[in-house]
Amino acid sequence: MGRKKKKQSKPWCWYCNREFDDEKILIQHQKAKHFKCHICHKKLYTGPGLSIHCMQVHKETIDKVPNSLPNRSNIEIEIYGMEGIPPEDIKEHERQKQGKQIQGGRPGSPSSGEDEPAPKKAKPEGLLGNGPGPGGMMQGMMPPQGPMHHHSMAPMGQFGPSMGHHMMGPMGPPIGPPFMGPGMPMMGPMGNMGGPPQMNMGMNPGSNQPQQNKPLFPSAATAATTTASAPVGADFKPITSTVSTPIGPVKPTFPAYSTTSSSSSQSSTPVTSSSDTSQKVALINTTGASSKIIHPQEDISLEQVRARISKYERQAPVKTVDSSTSTPQPQVEEERRAVMPRYQPRPAMAVAAVPVSVAAIAPPVSSVTIMSPMAGPPIMRHAMHLGPPAAMLGGNMNMMRPPPMGLPPGCT
Amino acid sequence: MFNQSTLGASSSFGATNTPSSANPMKDFEVTSPPDDSVSSLAFSPATIPQNFLIAGSWDNNVRCWEVEQTGKTIPKSMQTMQGPVLDVCWSDDGTKVFMASCDKMVKCWDLNSNQTMQVAAHDAPVKTCHWVKGPTYSCLMTGSWDKTLKFWDTRSPNPMLTISLPERAYCADVDYPMAVVGTAGRGLIVYQLEGKPQEYKRIESPLKYQHRCIAIFRDKKKSPTGYALGSVEGRVAIQYVNPQNPKDNFTFKCHRSNGAPNGYQDIYAVNDIAFHPVHGTLATVGSDGSFSFWDKDARTKLKPSEAMEQPITRCCFNSNGQIFAYAVSYDWSKGHEFYNPLKKNYIFLRSCYDELKPRSSS
């Protein structure tokens, strides 16, 4: 690019002398390269900030700014973008730039008193004119400039580090996008969603989405827009009424317990205390060295354990034809039988107490078992006293009502 | 404490002699509680002015009480299913209650007419039911031990949509446009409900033990953004669906007994988690019979409770966050040997608004 008088119009990094198209990119570069904590990769804003972070969080001291030139590694100098650069460094940089441009066409002359910008030469190349060229480039240039070679070595020292650590190709414009990547990983996928969610929000004025900057389900937003346009009827338009879009067969996504459900032969009821989760019958390792999980060893939910008890199954009337319908696993039956005998004496009492008479209030309720109060206190408790019907509860309730009473005294 | 009836704390039925050991937190006791363990609790939504509490129980019944400002509870009505009730939920307009049962059905209870009708069916007990209210559709989501998740338009006998799950549904929660299901085998799936329910992501469980309860939480703008998942090993995981920083997700231990320094620590299951509708802080209840309030943003415990005589099986907040209800009843965590059908089941109500205020500055 052939601009002669740059005049420091392009921001450059004080730590490594690289130039950037604009200050924002410069700052991103600094955060990613110079102000990034090597331990936790947190990006700070300034050199002193990084030093304080490492001290406080990791208890480590930092003595030089990462990826910086040797004479620019002072961590205590507070640089942010182009701010904070000491004036003499600014001048030096300007001189160097001018020197570079002047030097560009004149191979061989050891630059009139300036520092050695010579190796950059670049004007004919057009590359270095834009900024600190990548090391590769420079080195590539060197050989052709035979006579320059000597001079080129010296300045190498100064620019060495920058060559060494540069990661991407030539200068300004290409630097931008790659920085976007590591600097803002989140923006990538979100950025793509800028379009569709906007559409979506337009269609769903009532939804919560417009309030968020980021849609909760960006990948789904595009899918939703196609179907969200009209109110959905009794079935979602593309879906027929019966089974559809099953996610797929049971995937062994959770290998730890993948053997639980079907087919595993059930040994007797959960045996020893220290059983592994990898056994055929999925068990919870309930007893540890110093702790114990208060839960049945079998790795099924408490409700499932309880539902197997005959007492609860018996309440389900004829509809449950099989005895094994309440749980999907056939092997459960064996256990249940093991458990049942112990339970037999109980149900007589418990079952009597459970079905509630007051449910008769609403005749339409299906299969209500009406029991006349006989077992004393437990039943009396059921006499839900209805009181004056609340506005929202309808008239049926008045039909059969026990005399209004609260909990009768003495009935705990 | 000395054995006295907690007159001050109980409802107006002064005659109930509840020993303070059964109500150590001195909370309001709900009258005429269920006769068997409480499996589900739900307060009416904000769309109706009064507070109604619904409780489903292992005695096959679903009971409804009106809860007054004074703490007095008035039993209103009851319905019966053909098997133990496993879950209950309200419709968004507060006129209907859905009841999911071991009888493999879900019924809709119209409170105005006091009639019920079946609205859903599965091949195995229905463990969860949630009402989904979106801008373009509303429906009932039911999860069952038959490894399916079904969505029902209550006017039709066939499901609008059936999604198969990797395993039996153990817990679920819905907050439009997000739904999340925890299954057996430590399965965890997030669904997005916009347009039509679809699986959004299957998540590797952050917990090493069986999933037991799950609750969605919202961000500062009141949009659902993550969930809390509880396991049987006294641990809760707080997870964001799209975390800005992987460290945003964390787990914490809870419902464990300290025990002697060289003795065993007893680890109890987390039976339920509920988020405060205003503060965004959460409550957990466990098999150890205690509840705790937590601030997930400050990552701190706000308040523990004394232990009840039995496990706490469920909990919920009312729509404005003034009342915290918790049910004390046996959850089967020690097997059937420890089941005593004569032991009374309780539902307590606590005035909790101030106790759940967040600790964090924001």
Q: Is the pLDDT of residue A316 over 70?
A: no
Between residues A103 and B101, the one the model is more confident about:
B101
What number of C-beta contacts closer than 8 Å exist between A and B? 337
Q: What is the DSSP string of A61-79?
A: ---B-TT--GGG-BTTS--
A217 vs A109, more confident: A217
CA-CA distance, A306 to B333, in Å (whole number)?
Answer: 10
Of the candidates B61, B153, B167, the beta carbon closest to that of A234 is on B153
Contact call for A260 and B184, based on CB within 8 A: yes
Alpha carbon of A53: minimum distance to chain B alpha carbons (Å): 17
pLDDT at A121 (0 to 100): 45
pLDDT band (50, 70, 90) for residue B14: very low
Q: Quick one: pLDDT band at residue A152, thresholds 50, 70, 90?
A: very low
- Quote the minimal CA–CA distance from B173 to chain A in Å: 16
**Are B156 and A303 a contacting pair at CB < 8 A?**
no
CA distance A82 to chain B (A): 29
**Whether the predicted pLDDT of B56 surpasses 70:** yes
Question: How far from chain centre, in Å, is Cα A252?
Answer: 22
- pLDDT of A76 reads 86
Q: Residue A70 — very low, low, confident or very high, per pLDDT cuts 50/70/90?
A: confident
| Contact call for B82 and A319, based on CB within 8 A | yes
State the helix-helix crossing angle for A218-227 and A195-203, rounded to 10 degrees: 40
Which percentage of chain A shows pLDDT scores above 70?
30
Strands B265-268 and B38-43, bridge-based pairing: unpaired
Sheet holding B300-304, edge to edge: B270-275, B282-286, B291-295, B300-304
- pLDDT confidence bin for B200, thresholds 50/70/90: very high
Chain A nearest CA to B234, separation (Å) = 8
Quick check: A350 pLDDT over 50?
Answer: no
What's the pLDDT at A351? Answer: 41
pLDDT number for residue A167: 45
Q: Do A339 and B336 touch (CB under 8 A)?
A: yes
Mean pLDDT of the region A301-324: 67
Considering only residues B222 and A244, tell me which one the structure prediction assigns the higher pLDDT. Answer: B222
Nearest to B267 among A261, A293, A346 (CB): A293
Distances (CA, A) of A195 to A93, A211, A215, A290, B31: 43, 16, 11, 55, 55
Structural contact between residues B225 and B207, judged by C-beta atoms closer than 8 angstroms: no
Mean pLDDT in residue range A379-402:
42
Find the mean pLDDT for residues A176-205. Answer: 41
Quick: pLDDT tens for A280-311. Answer: 467 777 777 778 899 998 999 999 999 988 67
> Can you tell me the distance from the alpha carbon of B300 to that of B293, in angstroms, rounded to the nearest whole number?
9
Predicted confidence (pLDDT) per residue in A11-51, tens digit: 888 898 888 888 899 999 999 988 998 888 899 988 889 99
Pairing verdict, β B126-133 and B115-121: unpaired
Return the pLDDT at A227: 44
Question: Which chain A residue has the Cα nearest residue B209?
Answer: A284
Q: Which residue in A223, A250, A257 is closest to B198 by CB distance?
A: A223
A212, A226, A312 ranked by CB distance to B83: nearest: A312
Give the chain B residue nearest A386 (alpha carbons): B76
pLDDT of B315 over the 90 cut: yes
Spatial CB neighbours of B148, under 8 Å, sequence gap ≥ 6: B122, B123, B162, B163, B164, B165, B169
> Residue B337: is its pLDDT beyond 70?
yes
Asked if B223's CB is within 8 angstroms of A212's CB, the reply is yes
Question: What's CA A29's distance to the chain center, in Å?
Answer: 25
Per the CB < 8 Å rule, is B145 touching A295? no
A190-198: average pLDDT = 41
Taking Cα atoms as reference points, which of A273, A279, A265, A275 lies closest to residue A333? A265
Mutate to test the interface with B, among A295, A308, A320, A385 (most CBs of B within 10 A): A295
Least confident of A48-52, A317-321, B115-119: A317-321
**pTM of the predicted model, to two decimals?**
0.56
Contact (CB<8Å) B76/A304? no
Could you say which of A206, A282, A362 has the minimum Cβ distance to residue B114?
Answer: A362
Please indicate if any CB of chain B lies within 8 Å of the CB of A243.
Answer: yes
Residue B112's closest chain A neighbor by CA? A393
Question: What residue type is B235 in one-letter code?
Answer: R
Per cent of chain A over pLDDT 90 is 5
pLDDT in tens, A160-172: 444 444 444 444 4
Q: What's residue A89's pLDDT? A: 87
Residue with tokens 């989904």: B132
pLDDT band at A111 (very low <50, low <70, confident <90, very high): very low
Kindly report the nearest CA distance between residue A397 and chain B, in angstroms: 8
Confidence band (pLDDT; 50, 70, 90) for A97?
confident
With beta carbons under 8 A apart, name residues in chain B contacting A300.
184, 210
Q: Which amino acid makes up residue B300?
A: T
The 10s digit of each residue's pLDDT in B135-160 is 999 999 999 999 999 999 999 999 99
The interface predicted TM-score (ipTM) is 0.91
Distance of alpha carbon A34 from alpha carbon A49, whole angstroms: 11
With an 8 Å Cβ cutoff, are A316 and B102 in contact? yes
A396 and B63 within 8 Å at the Cβ level: the answer is: no
Say what the pLDDT of residue A33 is. Answer: 87
What number is the average pLDDT over the span A128-156? 43
Of A214, A251, A258, the CB nearest to B242: A214
Which residue among A218, A226, A364 sits closest to B116, beta carbon to beta carbon?
A364
pLDDT at B321 over 80: yes
Q: What pLDDT, on the 0 to 100 scale, is given for residue A264?
A: 35
